Structure 1
């Protein structure tokens, strides 16, 4: 099936985890700070992490819509802050009773490959299972960092669904710079 010009497509894999991973929490450098109303900080971190991979779902939201999400009492948008600034984003959504969606999990490029992701994911799972949830789920896709899916599988997530996602290319709509995701050319 051909895609019309101006569209992008990705294969999404949906994964779930139904029990906390075994073992103790692993310490990580920095501190997790909740972002509830600092849209500039959230957008800057989201862009630093996601532009290389064509993350766009938050970029296309206006400030009011994004603000309603991250300020919601059942959503935790967390920045991993350190001396060098924000290095990672974790967004946990508890709005479905008994479940947690790991909506976003990503590292700035300079934090990748240092074990930060493994330790931070463990902390995110610990936080999620500290609430009354029986399932944590997420989806990742072929536009994400190549280490994302292996990381989730190693943490114990199991795939349960796959889908093709088609969307407007966010670079053409001005939501991302045309230089975003250079490995994925604009048609």
Structure 2
């Protein structure tokens, strides 16, 4: 069975483009996972994307995860609510000064608590100052992201409210796959 998927690409071209969200109420902290951990990254990926058809990384081996996570300019920032992982944003620097927000989202139990806008704002700020932590990389010239019709219902609106501007739209057909949940059989 086929699924029609619309993919939107959005960008910011200056740090001043960011319109940050207010911090949510409660004990929400955002911390960089500085030690590359395929186990933790796979947990975040599967837990956030399991109900919205994120499947492209599920078949990666441990070595493939490790290789990706140790590339210069790849960072994972994790939101915690009272010490529990609530979601994450993964950044990846490109050679030309672009930084991609590769993955961003919340674990389903934490959606609707105003954490997403705050986490996205924080991740975008870290995109703009990424070269300060990675001096071998060029300064950030552009931050970009893509989202699609399979993502959460508030994803596109969150990007637009944070100051991203649409620069491309594509429509494609994909094979419809069952939603795997955070682990097989969930």
> Aligned partners of 2:162 and 2:77: how far apart in 1?
20
> Aligned partners of 2:47 and 2:73: how far apart in 1?
25
| Contact 1:35-1:42 at 8 Å conserved across structures | no
| Contact 1:36-1:77 at 8 Å conserved across structures | no
Q: Does 1:11 align with 2:10?
A: no
Q: Does 1:162 align with 2:157?
A: no
CA separation of 1:80/1:147 partners in 2, compared to 1, >3 Å: closer, same or farther? same
Compute the TM-score of the two structures, normalised by the length of structure 2.
0.80
CA separation of 1:17/1:171 partners in 2, compared to 1, >3 Å: closer, same or farther? same
Please report how far the alpha carbon of residue 154 of structure 1 lies from its aligned counterpart in structure 2 after TM superposition.
Answer: 0.8
CA separation of 1:23/1:176 partners in 2, compared to 1, >3 Å: closer, same or farther? closer
- Matched residue of 2:95: which SS? coil
Please report how far the alpha carbon of residue 76 of structure 1 lies from its aligned counterpart in structure 2 after TM superposition.
Answer: 0.4
Number of aligned positions between the proteins: 173
Please report how far the alpha carbon of residue 97 of structure 1 lies from its aligned counterpart in structure 2 after TM superposition.
Answer: 2.5
Q: What's the C-alpha RMSD, in Å, of the aligned pairs?
A: 2.7
> Aligned partners of 2:95 and 2:68: how far apart in 1?
14
Which whole-Å deviations, capped at 9, do the CAs of 1:123-157 have from their partners, x for residues lacking one?
A: 11111111311111110001000100000011111
Please report how far the alpha carbon of residue 16 of structure 1 lies from its aligned counterpart in structure 2 after TM superposition.
Answer: 0.7
Please report how far the alpha carbon of residue 60 of structure 1 lies from its aligned counterpart in structure 2 after TM superposition.
Answer: 2.6
| Contact 1:101-1:136 at 8 Å conserved across structures | yes
Please report how far the alpha carbon of residue 66 of structure 1 lies from its aligned counterpart in structure 2 after TM superposition.
Answer: 1.7
- Matched residue of 2:6: which SS? strand
| Contact 2:32-2:75 at 8 Å conserved across structures | no
Compute the TM-score of the two structures, normalised by the length of structure 1.
0.79
| Contact 1:33-1:81 at 8 Å conserved across structures | no
**Runs of 5+ consecutive residues of structure 2 not aligned to the other structure:** 132-138
